[in-house]
Each structure stands twice: as structure tokens, then as C-alpha cells.
Amino acid sequence: MSIKIKQALTESLIKIEKKDFDEGTIRTLLIVSREYLKYDGLVKELAHFIAHPKRNRGIFHKKVNSRYAKFKLLDEQLLKKQPEIKTEEELSDYMLGGIDLEKVESKLFNILYFDGLDDLPESHLIKYTGFTKAQAEKTLKENYTKKENFYYLNTLRTKKMISLLQELPNINEDKEIQKSILQGQELIRKVNSSIDSLQKVIRGAIHFHSVFDTNSLTSDFENNFKKILNEFNIDSKYTNIITDNIQEILICLMTLIHDSIFEFYDKNTARVYLCAYLENNEIKERESISQKEILYENGVLALYTNYKFESKSNSFPLFVSEIKLKNHIDKEDFMNKNIDRSISEIPWISAKRENEKLKLKTYS
């Protein structure tokens, strides 16, 4: 046991107990404890984020990477010359095209379908396909074979068999072979249709839920620090002290993640930024109060990701908290800044103590 590690942990925990901590305290706590975190969960992921702010792996990256891949396919379809589309079904089929059914590069296949399946609410999958996640994953694995850097649909083997049969001499006179060919073609049609429908549901559903929630974070802190405190012979009371202060710890974590970078499968990148967030249907300007004041009074702190593709820019949420902006940002400061819409980036990116209260401050 390292005495220096124990000292650094204890000092950080005492600051949390005395409510004298800020983002620097939480940075130290997670960096020092990182290699002692036993579980590959949220706390370890956040510790990795703080230590290495450019991420090309991890729990959050897997979800964001999958969402980005889906967005990119849609964007690429929009850039193509569109055929004549007459119905909503034709539009949906076109927008969810752009990727081959029978042969898919393995990295993209895993990102779109296995990671995408993991990111999908099971209720949505059951509603539109009748499959649970486990059934959908099993279906994909049973119907594809990975060879070198690609996944191949197994019906390609049936297609090849039919092609060989059709090359036989006097094929039209052999009713048994003709029957086998028709059965094989019908099997291919049914399998391809079923797999195509399943994949379109997975590709087409891009949910904007947060990549984690506060309850899960609290539980993960509790599980990890019970082990760490025991290992370093530190008073177990600090587990409850951490969970009791989870909202302010979360603010610090959000400021520490601000400006992090995700590197996607195609080497494009996205930047994580702190923003003011308010559901669109809540922003209704009234005579007595401006839209900016509504945002200040009702808005919450959120982390969004922003990436560029071709000439456009796109943003989607990483985490939306329940932490009210007005509790941690001075109103006069907010009203003097050019922030009047939800998901606008905010300049208050440091969590610092001011008169014993944790406030969001501009970097200095």
C-alpha cells in the first residue's frame, strides 16, 4: 500500500466532507484512484476521460461512435442524387439505404449493429421487430459469417449453390432441381427481407438519451470506493460522504469533461462542450419575461458533442443533468452573455468555490 496514494485520497475525501472541494479535488481523487478502481463502470470511464481527454474507446465512446455512424449514413444519403420518391415508405427505405446487406466491413458492422443494438431501448426493438436484444444479436450472429475484414450474409452460399445448379445441362427438364432452386430463392428472399428489416430498425433509431444517469453514477461510486477505502484502510464513512455530495461532484465531472474529444471510427472527431439545456417546448417567451430569462430560470447543465461533416455541423447530447443553471451561475453574468437558446455553449467551464458555494466560473 502506497502511503502517498492514501494521503492524496484522504485529503480529497476530507475536502468533500467539509464541502470545500472543487473540480481540482475531483480530478485528483479520480486520477489517484484510477488504477485501483475494480469495476469497468462509469467511475473508471470518467477517470480515463480526465486522464486522457481524447477518447477512441470506452463506454461513452461506443455509444457516441454508433450514433455518429448512423448520422453519417443518413447524411451521405442526403448528398446523393435522390430517385423519385412518392411515399413515406419509399423515403424511409431510401434514407436507411446506403449500406450493403450481404457484405459489410467488420468494423462498421460491429459499430452499427452490435454497439447500435446495445444503445437501443429494448422496448423500441420489440415494438418494431418483435425481437428482444438477445434474440436480435443471436439472429445477426447466426446469419452472418466473419471472414477477414468483412461480415458476409450466409444466404450468399445459397445463392452460389443456385448459380451452380443453374449451370447444369438440361436443367429445365429436371423438376427436382427446379424445385430446389425455387425453394432456395424463396429462402433467400425471406431471410434477406427479415435481416434487412431488423437492421433498418437498428440503424434508423438514434436515441438522444444520456449515456449515463445520476443514479447509476452514485451506485458505481459507492461500489468502487467501498473497495478502495477498505484496501487503503480509510474510514468507510467516506462512501456515504461521496454519495451525499454526488450533485456537486457531478458538476465538477462535467466541467472536467468539457473540451474532451471523441475520435470516431473514420478518424473524424467530435468535441464535448458544456451548454445550457431546455426542452424546446418549454421555451415560450412571455410578455413579462424574455426567452433568455426563461432559459436561465429553467435551464439545466448539459454536455453535448459537436462534429462536422462536409459543410455541416451537428450536435447531440452526451449527458443532460437535472442541475439548474441558476443555482450555479450568477444571473447578471448570464444575462450579459450572448446565450439565448438551448444547447448554446456556455463560457462558465470551471467549478470553483465562492463563499463556500460551488459556482460555475469562466476560465481564468
User: In angstroms, rounded to a whole number, what is the distance separating the alpha carbons of residues 348 and 260?
Assistant: 16
Outline where 323-363 has alpha helix (H): 331-335
Residue 304 has pLDDT above 80, yes or no: yes
- What is the percent of the chain where pLDDT is above 90? 71
Number of structural domains the chain divides into? 2
Q: What is the mean pLDDT of residues 94-99?
A: 66
Residue 97 has pLDDT above 80, yes or no: no
Q: Which residues contact 22 (CB under 8 A, 6 or more apart)?
A: 252, 351, 352, 353, 358
Domain shared by 46 and 95, yes or no = no
Residue 56 has pLDDT above 60, yes or no: yes
Which H or E element spans position 315? strand 312-324
Beta bridge partners of residue 350, listed in sequence order = 361
pLDDT band at 73 (very low <50, low <70, confident <90, very high): confident
Domain shared by 243 and 132, yes or no = no
pLDDT tens digit string along 136-153? 999 999 999 999 999 999
Query: Assign residue 132 a region: left if phi > 0, alpha if psi is -120 to 50, beta otherwise?
Result: beta
Domain boundary residue, one of 159, 183, 204: 204
Amino acid 337: pLDDT: 92
Domain shared by 104 and 193, yes or no = yes
Amino acid 364: pLDDT: 61
Outline where 18-143 has alpha helix (H): 23-33, 42-51, 59-79, 88-95, 106-109, 116-118, 122-129, 133-143
Q: Grid coordinates in use for 237?
A: 464513512
Domain shared by 213 and 355, yes or no = yes
Domain shared by 319 and 191, yes or no = no
The boundaries of the domain holding residue 139 are 61-204
Q: Grid coordinates in use for 343?
A: 444547447
Kindly report the CA angle at 320 between 53 and 204, in degrees rounded to 5? 90
Amino acid 254: pLDDT: 97
Residue 169 has pLDDT above 90, yes or no: no
Q: What is the mean pLDDT of residues 15-34?
A: 96
Residue 258 has pLDDT above 70, yes or no: yes
Domain shared by 234 and 346, yes or no = yes
Q: What is the mean pLDDT of residues 6-23?
A: 96
Domain shared by 200 and 232, yes or no = no
pLDDT band at 83 (very low <50, low <70, confident <90, very high): low
The rounded mean pLDDT for the chain is 89
Amino acid 46: pLDDT: 95
Residue 208 has pLDDT above 80, yes or no: yes
Amino acid 289: pLDDT: 77
Domain shared by 185 and 214, yes or no = no
Secondary structure letter of residue 292 according to DSSP: H
Amino acid 50: pLDDT: 94
Amino acid 57: pLDDT: 93
Domain shared by 20 and 84, yes or no = no
Domain shared by 193 and 263, yes or no = no
pLDDT band at 92 (very low <50, low <70, confident <90, very high): low
Residue given cell 427438364 in the structure block: 173
User: In angstroms, rounded to a whole number, what is the distance separating the alpha carbons of residues 171 and 178?
Assistant: 7
pLDDT band at 352 (very low <50, low <70, confident <90, very high): very high
Domain boundary residue, one of 204, 237, 262: 204
Residue 91 has pLDDT above 80, yes or no: no
Q: Grid coordinates in use for 88?
A: 413515406
Domain shared by 157 and 240, yes or no = no
pLDDT band at 285 (very low <50, low <70, confident <90, very high): low
pTM for this prediction:
0.87
Domain shared by 69 and 92, yes or no = yes
By mean pLDDT, which of 42-46, 277-281, 308-312 is the weakest? 277-281
Amino acid 261: pLDDT: 98
**With contact defined as beta carbons under 8 Å apart, do 44 and 60 qualify?**
no
Domain boundary residue, one of 184, 204, 224: 204
AA letter at 160:
K
